[in-house]
Structure 1
Amino acid sequence: MDTDVLVVGAGPTGMTLANELLTAGVSTVVVDRLSRRSALSKAGGVQSRTLEMLDQRGLLEPLLATGDHPVATGHFAGVPLPHPSDRHRLPWRSVPQVVIEGFFEDHLAALGLHIRRDHELVGLAQDGTGVTATFADGTSLRSRYLVAADGGHSTVRSLLRAAFPGEPGTLTIIAADVRLDGADPSASHTWNEDGHWAAMFPLGTDVQGRPLRRLVLGGPGMSLPRETPVTEDDIRDGLKTVFGSRVQLLELCYARRITNASRQAEQYRHGRVFLAGDAAHVHLPLGAQGMNTGMQDAFNLGWKLGAAVRGWAPTGLLDTYHAERHPVGAAVLRNVRAQSLLMDWAGTRDPEVLAAREIFTDLAQLPDVQSHLANLMSGMAVRYPMPGAAASSDPLLGLPVPDLDLGGVRVHELLRAGRGVLLDPEDAYASVAAGFSGRVDRVGRGGATGPLLVRPDGYVCWAGSAWLGPALREWFGEPSV
């Protein structure tokens, strides 16, 4: 083997996965077909759950130190969502994708992993022990496992001939990173009477300290073939149609056309090959859900591949990646389709759509509805099934663990080693946990909760109303002698 895991694609999903694999002590190679990192910020926000996961690896503070990344307001179908005060410890942040990619590339390089660029994948073959990847220059790499993180037009997925059902794109809209004059800093979505609309979100500042915005434009007559270049005149015309003369374009940094295609791979696992991020699911970029869902795919998969490579993965652990993440991707596609309908992306001004949006806007003012939608959009609504702990009815089971303070040490700090964590406040489980000491760190400190077993990705997989042994075996294999 040339490496334990080969990651194809050096976007946020691929580099998040690479960091998880290195944390697990697994040799990793990341390849990308591009000769240099892309300057395109396809996403501009980081959700609460992704921020928590970065914090669990000690990466959040260094990421936020890279520049001005203001707190952002979430939304559902353009209706603003206030920051919830319950489980959302960390509010959304405006961090452009290009910043995230640069941060991760530098971080991985400091750990000794350098992205291998100019590696265009052209062939793929797998057998009972590994995967052989062939590149356009005639070289090849052999690995125990391979992960496709190579985007919506994934070469890996094509070579696998993996089913990718869904709906093709029926229209395009414009997405651009811009500097504007006259824009209301509190405005997010604006519609005019003929169906044209604009959405704006802060992206922090450029290298000169000037504020940048993500601008999205759509409406009648604006849907052109995806490959049609976006010009400054297109942006100016779109701004004038929606805002008149009060908002002016100062600088266009980049722009592209995006479609409303909605597709999801039928299977996320194909033998020793796994699909993650946009290679597994594509949809309209609403609420940065594509990037965040992909990064959360990587957090879910990374520790499981590490367990498989290191030889302690219980039977079926790798299959739980599809079982847990496919429903999450399906739920994202479902909420994006609902949002695109309520937002009237095509600018039809259909009276039935407008009536539905009015009713929805009224409902979205209710605190319970806001909480539900905020959980949905932030990744905090994800609750994994925990079959090995079915006897427990603990409300935390399957959810992200709260960042509890255990006598001056936070739970998220305990997860930075990439191992499981057993919270054992009464020191009742020392003997049963002893055989898992290399995979699970037991913390016998007091706290405001009962005993909990937390997976390396931060999800509670057992609570202290049932016998601990089966849950340890379910997620951490057989005890060492």
Structure 2
Amino acid sequence: MDTDVLIVGAGPTGLTLANELRLAGVPAVLVDKLAQRSTLSKAGGVQSRTQEAFDQRGLLEPLLATGNYPIGTAHFAGITLPLTRDRHRHPWRSIPQVVIEGFLEQHLAAQDIHVLRDHELTGIAQDEDGVTATFARGGVVRSRYLVAADGGRSTVRSLLGAEFPGRPGTMTTVAADVRLGGDDQAMTHARSEDGHWVSVFPLGTDPQGRPLRRLALGGPGRSLPREVPVTEDEIREGLRAVFGSRVRLLELRYARRITNAARQAARYRHGRVFLAGDAAHVHLPIGAQGMNTGIQDALNLGWKLGAAVHGWAPEHLLDTYHTERHPVAAAVLRNVQAQSLLMDQQGARDPDLTATKELFAALTGLREVQYHLDDMLSGMGIRYPIPGAEEQPLVGLPAPSRDLGPVRSHELLRRGRGVLIDPDDRFAKVAARWQDRVDRTGQGADAEPMLIRPDGYVCWAGNPDDLEPALGHWFGEPR
């Protein structure tokens, strides 16, 4: 074997996975077909759960220190959810994808892990022992496992012939990175009476300290073929149709047309090859849910691949990647399709749709509705089908951060290992059998006992008799 894991694609998903494998002590090779990293912002928002995961790895503070990334308010279909702003430890933030990619790539480089660029994959073949990947320039890499993190038009997925069912794009909208001038209060979700609409989100500032914004626009007659270039005049016309003279374009940095295609791979695992990120699911980019879902794919898969390479993974463990992550992305596709419909992106102004949105907007005034939508959009409501989830409120959910005296519980996950919180030292003898892969702490007299997987999800709480089976289920036979 040349390496244990070959990661194809150096976007947020691939870079996050490379860092997870580094923590697991697993050699990996990370390749990308681009000769240099993209400078386009692409996605622009980071969910609470993704920030929590970065914090669990000690990466959030240094990431936030790289610039000015404003806190935003969650929205569903352009309807703001103000009651959710302070619900979670880490509120929604606007951090461009290009910043996250640059930060993660530099972090890996500091650990002597470098992206091999200008490596275009042309073929893969797998057998019972590993995967052989060939590249356009004649290179060959042999690995135990291969992970496709190479985007919505995944070469790996194509070479596998993997099913990618769903709906093709039926329309396009414009997405652009811009500097705007004029009325700051107007720069939000807005719609004209004739169906034209504009959405504006903060993207931090440029090196001169000037505010940057992500802009999306659409409406009647604005769904043009994807290959038609977006012009400054088109942006100006779209702004004028909604804001009049209150908002003007100062600078267009980048623009593209995006479609509402919605597809998801039927299977995330194909033998020794796994699909992650946009290679596994694509949808209209609303709320940066694609980037966040991809990062969380990597967090789920990384420690499991590490366990398989080190030889202690239970037989079922790698299969849980599909069973846990496939439903999550399916739910994202559904909420994005619902938002797209309610936003009336083609400006049809159907009276039935207008009535539906008015009713929905009224319902979002209810605290319970806002909290439900926030749990869905923030990622904090994800609950994996983990044994015991039916009986124990914490099991299957992201682990809460608890004060354990000298540290908080999330800080214990920075080694990428399992964590047993055992405040009464009741389970020291049992935990000692798994001490090579699970850390135990007796700190925090008021904390409830819980077992946390390396990806930050609770896999046991409550019944003492269930702890040893849970350790075996997730961390294999003890040594």
How far apart, in 2, do the equivalents of 1:399 and 1:366 lie?
24
Instruction: Give the Å deviation of 1:408.
Output: 2.6
1:306 is matched with which residue?
Answer: 306
Query: What is the correspondence of 1:115-134 to structure 2 with a 5 Å cutoff?
Result: 115-134=115-134
1:385-424 Cα shifts (integer Å, max 9, x gaps): 112x36x722111101111001131111100000000011
Q: What residue identity is the alignment partner of 2:294?
A: G
Cα 1:104/1:83, change in 2 over 3 Å: farther
Instruction: Give the Å deviation of 1:346.
Output: 1.2
1:111-165 Cα shifts (integer Å, max 9, x gaps): 1111000000110100111111111111111111000000000000000000000
1:81 is matched with which residue?
Answer: 81
Q: What residue identity is the alignment partner of 1:445?
A: Q
Contact 1:7 1:29 in 2 (8 A): yes
Query: What is the correspondence of 1:105-254 to structure 2 with a 5 Å cutoff?
Result: 105-185=105-185, 187-254=187-254
How far apart, in 2, do the equivalents of 1:377 and 1:321 lie?
21
How far apart, in 2, do the equivalents of 1:84 and 1:181 lie?
29
Matched, 1:471 2:465: no
Contact 1:48 1:91 in 2 (8 A): yes
Give RMSD over aligned pairs: 1.2
2:93 is matched with which residue?
Answer: 93
1:358 is matched with which residue?
Answer: 358
3-state SS, counterpart of residue 109 of structure 1: helix
How far apart, in 2, do the equivalents of 1:397 and 1:448 lie?
18
Q: What residue identity is the alignment partner of 1:271?
A: G
Instruction: Give the Å deviation of 1:228.
Output: 1.1
3-state SS, counterpart of residue 53 of structure 1: helix
How far apart, in 2, do the equivalents of 1:24 and 1:393 lie?
31
- Mark the runs of 5 or more structure 1 residues left unpaired by the alignment: none
1:460 maps to which of 458, 462, 470: 458
Instruction: Give the Å deviation of 1:243.
Output: 1.1
How far apart, in 2, do the equivalents of 1:380 and 1:400 lie?
7
Cα 1:72/1:85, change in 2 over 3 Å: closer
Instruction: Give the Å deviation of 1:253.
Output: 0.6
Contact 1:281 1:329 in 2 (8 A): yes
Contact 2:186 2:247 in 1 (8 A): no
Contact 1:32 1:116 in 2 (8 A): yes
Matched, 1:448 2:439: no
Instruction: Calculate percent identity across the aligned residue pairs.
Output: 71
How many pairs align?
Answer: 478
How far apart, in 2, do the equivalents of 1:446 and 1:279 lie?
42
- Mark the runs of 5 or more structure 2 residues left unpaired by the alignment: none
How far apart, in 2, do the equivalents of 1:187 and 1:269 lie?
43
Contact 2:31 2:119 in 1 (8 A): yes
How far apart, in 2, do the equivalents of 1:82 and 1:15 lie?
33
How far apart, in 1, do the equivalents of 2:412 and 2:84 lie?
25
TM-score when normalising by structure 1: 0.98
1:416 maps to which of 393, 414, 417: 414
Cα 1:352/1:112, change in 2 over 3 Å: same
1:395 is matched with which residue?
Answer: 393
Contact 2:73 2:84 in 1 (8 A): no
Contact 2:57 2:415 in 1 (8 A): yes
Instruction: Give the Å deviation of 1:448.
Output: 3.0
1:274-323 Cα shifts (integer Å, max 9, x gaps): 00000000001111100000000000000000100111111110000000
Contact 1:405 1:447 in 2 (8 A): no
Matched, 1:376 2:352: no
Q: What residue identity is the alignment partner of 2:416?
A: G
1:71 is matched with which residue?
Answer: 71
Contact 2:424 2:445 in 1 (8 A): no
Q: What residue identity is the alignment partner of 1:162?
A: A
